[in-house]
Structure 1
């Protein structure tokens, strides 16, 4: 970037086109990027100097005028507007002025860890729902705002692309494009030859499945941005072909020693030691050696690893006294018995499935596997619902494949399709296929009898599982919970939704399945936000990628998942950062005399839960690519004494497969426990983080500052906040037309429900400092403050000057509201990048003392003080004139203050990002003269009495 001419550095004031502007970064010798003195980001302009009719001249900020005096109550409003407008704040973190989320203090730990690394290589393995997306994106935003990176890519599973794009845009003001099979050709269509989509689009969200192929992988590695976030990083370790391709992709990216990489996963260790240490090797190759070193020889490497690896469970957050951000999760199990006609049908289906397998013995492998999958499909669907069972019985497994052009399905086709629809997939690739698996391999009278019997059992009268669900939902809704009912198949979801609509007349009920696109699913869910009572019935298409905590507070597992990770994902949709309710519920529904449920619950789910409670983290099932689950279900199928009867579920005999799974669970538990002990890091403690957090919050303003400002600002502009259910309503039509127009451009019209504290109330906007409402109010008030007295009335103006009799000072005290501008130079091998830093502070002069910088609390106490009695305008004007006349005498002290604050800013940057000093350096220069935004004189109440 060309350096701008000396008088036009970022932060300089210039006069152009009849008004004053602040010069912004990205200006050059011929082009100036400018922001009007009283304007915001949307008012920025670019001026091409050679074409300007009048030369651009240096300018100074005008002092307040006596004519701009207003009542004292309007003084703090200007302070708040200035503070909340800051985007290039002068605190230790550059990014905090540019994000639309107020991170919790514990979420700053990964950011501080990253700032201590020259090249950021971090594995964030926090528990489900703690906020890994925020933690990873915050690091990216900080490096962007420090000028250390210009491009960013997120690599994630395809079903998470839209969520990442939305999070980056809404929370971090990073506008990205999605790169995957359906969008890549469109993005590349208009590019010049030799130009990469990653050069043309600096911010991208890329599907791992799209980019992992060898051809695309090599091209991506050449053009890959300098900062990479990898979500679900545990799916990118060595293993099957898909995992191997992903691993090779990341390994190639990691070979560039200057590339920043942040890996995110809630399950870093799946019991596969090689996979785990290969993941650590992406941070630094030498970390793979930890696997083979004896414990005593690991200390130095362990210490190094602790700088790159952070893993925290929910209990670890307790020391931050921030556990209110997470609800209590109460779990329960509900049982039903397969009695009467339903029990008879279950036994008949079980017998028929067993016969299918026995009949194929001794025949070709294709027929054996086809019959086995058909039998397993019957077990899965009959355990789900009559509707799923009917669809499975009616769908022929041996048939034509549309993908194969009408040819007969091959054995590999059968294995892939049936496996995806019957089983739940592996932890690195959980199945999202919710179509009922095919189970028909013949057309026989026996089969038709089973279909007729299944059809006749639909409804609560004959379906004990459905009856139990209805009773449980009645109880949940009565207690105020809003449940999500998860089931395995589309037919079951519609079966449940149709039945529940007939029973819950005053409750909004929707079914969301894989039949809908990702956008349609989100729209269907958001449509439920206006209803007080709601039940969502969903397949596992919603167990990943869509967060439901703002609308729902309970999960019911109507169908047991055969993979415990899926259960945790379902519950994690509502039990996560941002859940407003103090308690969430999770209920498992199972048949106590159903051998399929018995096997899954007894051998898989309960064991997983016991390990999770012991270690505090979820450990994925050690399933050997699904072989153990298949062996377990084969035992259920082929043991005739597992039929429905009077035996309790705990009495079922699952034989050798259950023993093998128990052995595998024990092994993975021991490995996970050992590694948690070995790699338990010396975590950053609250006392290491909170000072930096408080310093940034003081510069930029927090939730309380935003609430105070908005409340006063809308009142000043003719509207008011109306209390409503623990939050507020704001009627935007009461605001001035200019404000309404700005808000309408951001899609905000009519009545706005707003909440100043997160998590926001259901249906309310969380109003933080970068929300369009705050921006519009701050810009409007500052513009009015800078207008001449003739252009504004006393009622709607913000005070740049004032004087009042108050009771909280003993000496006449002058408060100056200052805006300080600094040029931050980041010097690297590639050149020097200039940035603008701004801060708003207040100083006080009492009697003949020197100016003293006020803390935010002191500023609020002085500017927020109530006037004790009216001050006659002539007296007020006299006090203001005397203060303005004294300013030249204070000018030297104000400049010294600006230099001191510049050095403080430099120390902040060096302290937080000390690792970057090895690759360059920082310089901070104060932009003079200091802008005096407001002058306020506080006179002791007894004076002139």
Structure 2
């Protein structure tokens, strides 16, 4: 090891360029990475020793002086500022000082599983809304902070790119760029010819649709980061042309044995065994063989798989006594009847649809299939709304093809089938459609269709539309009980129709329709804009059923149109019923036509059976439907069965015959598969309660939500901008008037986009429109940096704003002590050497402690908890300044004599830190070696004297 490295280990203090610095771990023989005392790593600098004009020398931390004294309470702010500034805190988890979220117990399990592996290969298949994004990002943040990786790519469907980018930045302070067709050229501009975007930008969020092509895939495989997260991984299995390209990409990535991969999906098994085992094979090629190994020979391989696959449903989390995480979901079914003109029109359309199919018999296969899809489209749209029915009927009248203006003859049979499934059905299990434009098909019945269109147009509004009337009645119940509902529709026309009608009925609510007509970013903007309204109703198509979190603004879901796939229902409800939902109760409602034969078939044979299995197993079993064939058969049975018009169907007790039996058999098979897999894939080996003490220790070192709240409130008062409590929309929060803060803080906040009056809260979930103030928030950093710099500045002027807010020294009379007691605020710096996979990393750990030195036993220091209580005490009476200075000078003169005891404390804390790291590694079963060395002498940040009253 070089002389420089031997002399200036991480955590050492050095003097350079007229000030003191802390040496950071990135330093080498010729370079020193330095952080100024009292500043963050954002202010770090690099010194190249061979050309540095003034020699760098060792330094010691300056002791407090009498001149740095102020009132005793100012010492509490110093302690809080010092604690909340820590980013490389002592503790077994390196990442917790750099994140803006407090992980729940169950969310630590994937992190521990990852730490257990030399190369991370993990499939996280937790339920919708449990927090897979947080679990995955926590893993990569930890690997980055341990120095094990330096680059990360997130691969996700295009509509999730911005959400991932925002989550990484807001919660984990990872600044990623989005790479897709619209951004790639801009990112590549100015790069050297042989440099990839993925080499130039260490953190990227990449659209799967952009990167999967053969040309781009090869370049990505060459330059891919050493760690990859794949969201919605079930859409990347070998099935269909687009997914075949995705699977080829992931298979190529997994073939690098050194690459870390974290795969995320809420539906790992979509009913296709081949796709499922291909997914497992990305973790380890051997897992693909589980499909063909006899049951009695699988045990060892299955046990190995359990180390790489974690799947929890909400009942699993209940078993871990974490019952306050999620709201209670109350479900209900409500119905309407096809009465009057609407019922007659429905019967006529059903009869016409039946004639379409019968008439096509004997024609060529294309015409038969087009007539079939036209009939199904009519039934789906007429069941949705008058507006959707009008659009579907008019599309036929204009002779447009199923996909739009192209001629039907131009479509291949395969194209027609694919478009029919997408527009009429809900897509396949691993690729649910978000296509919400009303379907249409060409027919020649111009006169009849014109009459049907005219009749449908006359039925808009609650007076003639019983479905809409029932929705309005239900929404009055929900909103009257304080719920904020989302109404999900199948088609664009229906969403706009419903929203228009609701605006007149709910004039005091903001009612907005969000559909696939909006680009992904526009949808998010439109939803976020509703946060200003105290009462809101969102009407949306399934373009919002994936990727956008609605839990901060909404508390109820109404399925205005039944989805023909139960997974879609769960996705809709999971937008609201998910991690971070503030309400303790969420309502979900299915609305159906009691005498609508299509609704009856779907509800009875598909949705209720799925719910029955979910209640039995605690798992949502994907619908066992091969490309919608069973659903088509079921609806076809309704369509072609004579005597099943609405007027003759007062109840849902239909006999659907063979299709129902086929679906029932398929459901039973799917249930049995899910039941067998259930015992294998639920993760119960690692128990969060075994690791929670380590998380709590980390909070004690770094500061948790309560510490942040106390600090910000006190600092705001001392700096002339006290917080103002406010209530908006029924939710309590605080207002901070940033303009009243000192100019240095104000300017720094303005650079972060924080100006004017800020609505803030210190606990999650946060009220709509508010900001969560966590320990890494710019506000906390700005306040802590300002106060600490003020405290350490010996040249500060007493008249400066906030000059007395923080102090390195103080003295009071108090009843809390019986003998003169000195409380020392100290900072400990430790060098942590971690060896993993044969690679050693030298890391810096810091912690701030308070220790008490009683006059009657100076060899026995009071612990941090006791000393903190003493620091928070109130003075009994005033102490004259000369007497204060006398007591302080006496304590300062004693400091050198206390250093041996403080150094013994530092060694003890280093040993505890080592034990913490080893204990967590034992909890996860991970391999690794650690060595911890304290940096001495100990930094004394503050001296505070308590004199018995």
1:473-514 CA deviation, whole Å, 9 max, x = no partner?
Answer: 111111111111110111111111111111111111111111
Corresponding residue number in structure 2 for 1:838 = 846
C-alpha deviation, 1:661, in angstroms: 0.6
1:271-298 CA deviation, whole Å, 9 max, x = no partner?
Answer: 3344333333332333344445555544
Counterpart CA distance in 2 for 1:427 and 1:85 is 47
C-alpha deviation, 1:182, in angstroms: 2.9
Corresponding residue number in structure 2 for 1:438 = 440
Corresponding residue number in structure 1 for 2:888 = 880
C-alpha deviation, 1:95, in angstroms: 0.3
C-alpha deviation, 1:345, in angstroms: 0.8
1:858 to 858, 866, 891: 866
Counterpart CA distance in 1 for 2:297 and 2:925 is 31
Counterpart CA distance in 1 for 2:863 and 2:588 is 47
Corresponding residue number in structure 2 for 1:602 = 604
Corresponding residue number in structure 2 for 1:338 = 338
C-alpha deviation, 1:55, in angstroms: 3.6
Counterpart CA distance in 2 for 1:703 and 1:853 is 28
Distance 1:196-1:603 versus aligned 2 partners, 3 A rule: same
- Is 247-256 or 774-783 further displaced after alignment? 247-256
Distance 1:49-1:800 versus aligned 2 partners, 3 A rule: same
1:701 to 700, 703, 708: 703
Distance 1:722-1:438 versus aligned 2 partners, 3 A rule: same
* 1:238-257 equivalent positions in 2, closer than 5 A: 238-257=238-257
Structure 2 residue 939 is matched with structure 1 residue 901: no
- Is 719-728 or 422-431 further displaced after alignment? 719-728
Secondary structure of the structure 1 residue equivalent to 2:934 = strand
Corresponding residue number in structure 1 for 2:472 = 470
Distance 1:3-1:630 versus aligned 2 partners, 3 A rule: farther
C-alpha deviation, 1:633, in angstroms: 1.4
Counterpart CA distance in 2 for 1:831 and 1:494 is 59
1:74-116 CA deviation, whole Å, 9 max, x = no partner?
Answer: 2121111111101111111100011111112221111112112
Corresponding residue number in structure 2 for 1:822 = 830
Counterpart CA distance in 2 for 1:869 and 1:249 is 73
Counterpart CA distance in 2 for 1:595 and 1:348 is 13
Counterpart CA distance in 2 for 1:548 and 1:687 is 30
Unaligned 5+ segments in structure 1 are none
Corresponding residue number in structure 2 for 1:801 = 809
Structure 1 contact 899–926 (Cα < 8 Å) conserved = yes
Secondary structure of the structure 2 residue equivalent to 1:599 = helix
Alpha-carbon RMSD across the aligned residues, in angstroms, is 2.5
Structure 2 contact 381–392 (Cα < 8 Å) conserved = yes
Structure 2 contact 690–923 (Cα < 8 Å) conserved = no
- Is 553-562 or 314-323 further displaced after alignment? 314-323
1:388-413 CA deviation, whole Å, 9 max, x = no partner?
Answer: 11111111465598898999333333
Distance 1:847-1:253 versus aligned 2 partners, 3 A rule: same
Secondary structure of the structure 2 residue equivalent to 1:769 = coil
C-alpha deviation, 1:50, in angstroms: 5.2
Corresponding residue number in structure 2 for 1:635 = 637
Distance 1:49-1:573 versus aligned 2 partners, 3 A rule: same
* 1:396-475 equivalent positions in 2, closer than 5 A: 396=396, 398-399=400-401, 408-442=410-444, 444-475=446-477
2:555 to 553, 558, 580: 553
Structure 2 contact 82–848 (Cα < 8 Å) conserved = yes
Corresponding residue number in structure 1 for 2:76 = 76
1:605-630 CA deviation, whole Å, 9 max, x = no partner?
Answer: 11111111111111110001211111
Counterpart CA distance in 2 for 1:321 and 1:722 is 36
Corresponding residue number in structure 2 for 1:191 = 191
Structure 1 contact 401–409 (Cα < 8 Å) conserved = no
Counterpart CA distance in 2 for 1:90 and 1:555 is 44
Counterpart CA distance in 2 for 1:372 and 1:43 is 68
- Is 254-263 or 317-326 further displaced after alignment? 317-326
Unaligned 5+ segments in structure 2 are none
Distance 1:59-1:556 versus aligned 2 partners, 3 A rule: same
Corresponding residue number in structure 1 for 2:819 = 811
C-alpha deviation, 1:237, in angstroms: 2.9
Structure 2 residue 762 is matched with structure 1 residue 756: yes
* 1:623-702 equivalent positions in 2, closer than 5 A: 623-702=625-704
* 1:230-629 equivalent positions in 2, closer than 5 A: 230-293=230-293, 295=295, 297-396=297-396, 398-399=400-401, 408-442=410-444, 444-629=446-631
Structure 1 contact 808–940 (Cα < 8 Å) conserved = yes
Q: Normalized against structure 2, the TM-score is what?
A: 0.95
Corresponding residue number in structure 2 for 1:40 = 40
1:290-337 CA deviation, whole Å, 9 max, x = no partner?
Answer: 445555544433433332222222122224443222111111111001
Distance 1:826-1:518 versus aligned 2 partners, 3 A rule: same
Secondary structure of the structure 2 residue equivalent to 1:453 = helix
Structure 2 residue 746 is matched with structure 1 residue 740: yes
Structure 2 contact 331–587 (Cα < 8 Å) conserved = yes
* 1:104-123 equivalent positions in 2, closer than 5 A: 104-123=104-123
Secondary structure of the structure 2 residue equivalent to 1:262 = strand
Distance 1:647-1:831 versus aligned 2 partners, 3 A rule: closer
Equivalent pairs counted in the alignment come to 941
C-alpha deviation, 1:585, in angstroms: 0.7
Secondary structure of the structure 2 residue equivalent to 1:614 = helix
Structure 2 residue 792 is matched with structure 1 residue 792: no
Structure 1 contact 393–440 (Cα < 8 Å) conserved = no
Counterpart CA distance in 2 for 1:565 and 1:371 is 28
- Is 319-328 or 451-460 further displaced after alignment? 319-328
1:345-391 CA deviation, whole Å, 9 max, x = no partner?
Answer: 11111111111111111111111111111111111111111111111
Corresponding residue number in structure 2 for 1:211 = 211
Structure 1 contact 360–367 (Cα < 8 Å) conserved = yes
Distance 1:598-1:829 versus aligned 2 partners, 3 A rule: closer
Secondary structure of the structure 2 residue equivalent to 1:461 = coil
Secondary structure of the structure 2 residue equivalent to 1:625 = helix
Distance 1:124-1:399 versus aligned 2 partners, 3 A rule: closer
Structure 1 contact 784–792 (Cα < 8 Å) conserved = no
* 1:159-198 equivalent positions in 2, closer than 5 A: 159-198=159-198
Corresponding residue number in structure 2 for 1:868 = 876
C-alpha deviation, 1:737, in angstroms: 1.7
C-alpha deviation, 1:170, in angstroms: 0.8
Counterpart CA distance in 1 for 2:917 and 2:754 is 37
Counterpart CA distance in 2 for 1:499 and 1:112 is 51
Structure 1 contact 121–262 (Cα < 8 Å) conserved = yes
Distance 1:375-1:300 versus aligned 2 partners, 3 A rule: same
Structure 2 contact 180–206 (Cα < 8 Å) conserved = yes
Counterpart CA distance in 2 for 1:849 and 1:68 is 27
C-alpha deviation, 1:570, in angstroms: 0.4
Corresponding residue number in structure 2 for 1:133 = 133
- Is 922-931 or 104-113 further displaced after alignment? 922-931
Distance 1:790-1:97 versus aligned 2 partners, 3 A rule: closer
Secondary structure of the structure 2 residue equivalent to 1:567 = helix
Distance 1:223-1:915 versus aligned 2 partners, 3 A rule: farther
Counterpart CA distance in 1 for 2:685 and 2:837 is 33
Secondary structure of the structure 2 residue equivalent to 1:791 = coil
C-alpha deviation, 1:5, in angstroms: 4.7
C-alpha deviation, 1:850, in angstroms: 5.0
Distance 1:402-1:196 versus aligned 2 partners, 3 A rule: farther
Distance 1:698-1:612 versus aligned 2 partners, 3 A rule: same
Distance 1:400-1:574 versus aligned 2 partners, 3 A rule: closer
Structure 2 contact 401–441 (Cα < 8 Å) conserved = no
1:725-772 CA deviation, whole Å, 9 max, x = no partner?
Answer: 333222222221221111111111222121111111222211110011
